[in-house]
Structure 1
């Protein structure tokens, strides 16, 4: 390649990167403005302002449409830190290989049973896709609080930690397995062996007041140890309180199976 062509090529790449950097800022600013309207209308809803509930529902629809459009139209968003959105209490988790990302947030449309939405963004080949999951009258959508990446040979699995809030007392935590297969996101990977057969997820219900006095970062929860290929779940007693004991599921080469501590 001649020197002039090299310079033009480098300049073109720089302009392209700079252009996207500017676009990324504009995208986040637009998303943040739309996202902040959720809490705004929720605040007015709680005050009893006429029409606030309808406006909140519309604001959710607008935000969801914008997020899905941006994450599909601009593939590089899958690596954007979106720091301002995180500060505004949107949870964003990205897989270790950079091919899968979960966006999770509260819609403020629930009561003591809290409502959430999730957008799953993933890359397959040169294409970036997005799937939106929202709570409905028939389907409850939890929020995600962590994401692990697990490789087994040529296969890559994503282990999402999710949480449900059903009242001020009744909550749950679980782990769900995803994989990108044949150009699609498979959210029904049955890789956990239980007494009732192979399952896609594990979860437990518990009394929130059994952990309310424990700092969030110290509360027992589900974790995954990639080195030992082990899922670790807190044991809940008959009263619904989380104990200091754990249940272990270790990967045996085919699936996760319960083992003794």
Structure 2
């Protein structure tokens, strides 16, 4: 029954998509997004039916956002201020061709569960990918997006985070590009000891940074001027330090250099 309801919803959305204004699209998304918080609160208050309803609310919003992202090409630059206010995170590339939407599904416990919609532009059209977690796949949240041009190529360096428990967390940086009409999420241009990779990631003890203001916490950054990825050094017990591991772009890939 859930599958039939989802198909019916998507058909209705497809029929009505092009008749709606940007304001109507945002209002519809906001209404759907608020259902997630509503059922999250119900779940926290012990409502036995809230867990399934919360899952349905996340499915509805994720599919709705994905379909609007494709039906409305201009949405890739739409600010969606009301959704940002409700904590839908949006990161948009400088060239306006790639955007990441991230949100907390509130379906995890101390292991936080997130979902993403990746939206990208091909000519006058936009395409999108919905990423949801499972027992086999953990979906992170994204915190920063750098646009990096190297010759004729444009790379998108996305910084992401994971929360596995109140203590165990992680940060990474992943490289995307758009090629052959598709979003490529496996751009292997980071040279590591085990070969070329599309991402670098480290685990850390959250309590080692909890007393530092969020905007001042050591994290992964990319310096456009020097073309260097800066990664905090993590000690053996998971303590994040102010020391850095640096990867500089050499014209083909990022490789580790002496600090």
For normalisation by structure 1, the TM-score amounts to: 0.91
Deviation string for 1:101-131 (max 9, x for gaps)?
0000011111100000010000012221000
Q: Provide the C-alpha distance between the structure 2 equivalents of 1:227 and 1:216, rounded to a whole number of angstroms.
A: 25
Mean Cα displacement is larger for which, 79-88 or 176-185? 79-88
Residue among 196, 202, 205 paired with 1:204 = 202
Q: Provide the C-alpha distance between the structure 2 equivalents of 1:61 and 1:30, rounded to a whole number of angstroms.
A: 15
Q: Provide the C-alpha distance between the structure 1 equivalents of 2:85 and 2:212, rounded to a whole number of angstroms.
A: 23
CA deviation after TM superposition for structure 1 residue 238, in Å: 1.0
Who is 2:13 aligned against?
none
CA deviation after TM superposition for structure 1 residue 50, in Å: 2.3
Q: Provide the C-alpha distance between the structure 2 equivalents of 1:166 and 1:58, rounded to a whole number of angstroms.
A: 23
CA deviation after TM superposition for structure 1 residue 43, in Å: 0.8
Flag the structure with larger Rg: 1
For normalisation by structure 2, the TM-score amounts to: 0.92
Runs of 4+ more than 6 Å apart: none
Mean Cα displacement is larger for which, 181-190 or 28-37? 28-37
Who is 1:76 aligned against?
74
8 Å Cα contact 2:218-2:240 kept in structure 1: yes
Q: Provide the C-alpha distance between the structure 1 equivalents of 2:151 and 2:242, rounded to a whole number of angstroms.
A: 34
CA deviation after TM superposition for structure 1 residue 26, in Å: 1.1
Give the 3-state SS of the residue equivalent to 2:21 in structure 1: helix
Residue among 166, 184, 192 paired with 1:168 = 166
Q: Provide the C-alpha distance between the structure 2 equivalents of 1:235 and 1:32, rounded to a whole number of angstroms.
A: 40
Q: Which runs of 5+ in 1 are unaligned?
A: 1-19
Please give the root-mean-square deviation of Cα atoms over the aligned residues, in Å: 1.0
8 Å Cα contact 2:63-2:130 kept in structure 1: no
Give the 3-state SS of the residue equivalent to 1:66 in structure 2: helix
